[in-house]
Amino acid sequence: MKIITSISIFIVVFILDQFIKYAFVYFGWGYEGSCLSFQLAYNYGVAFSMFSFLKEYLKYIQLFLVVGGLIYLYFNKEVLKEYALPISLLFAGGLSNILDRFTYGAVVDYIYWHCGFEFAIFNLADMIINLAVAIIIYKQIFTKKDQKN
């Protein structure tokens, strides 16, 4: 049952993120607010546009990392069982952003925070990836505490 739930979460997050990005690119979605705006932007790098000089190669580097992660999970099935939810979120967000690189030549970003300070433009996949990492860290901290007790 856990595998079906994880695959379902992966599919829903992946499709939702791709639909939103498609709408920004082809339907001209956008909104200008006082603190939060939704505007189309292309990120040729990774977080905060780092490594944008590798823009043509990043999709292959990231795909290689995903394959490496899948190989690791294949040989460490207990990790997959323990972290099924965050892994499904991590792969959904990561693969969605990688698909953007193949489809649009860059990652499609659209959420822009500019209230009090300006922050990088990001997307749903980025938030999902951060959520997955936070869940993994949380589980690591509290699993170790439980093991000590």
Which residues are catalytically annotated? 109, 126
CA distances from 16 to 23, 29, 92 (A): 11, 15, 10
C-alpha 8/C-alpha 50 separation (Å) is 32
For residue 141, give the amino acid letter: I
Is the separation of the CB atoms in 132 and 93 below 8 Å?
A: yes
Residue given tokens 């901290």 in the structure block: 141
DSSP per-residue codes, 77-140: HHHHHHTHHHHHHHHHHHHHHHHHHHHHSSEEEEEEE-SSS---EE-HHHHHHHHHHHHHHHHH
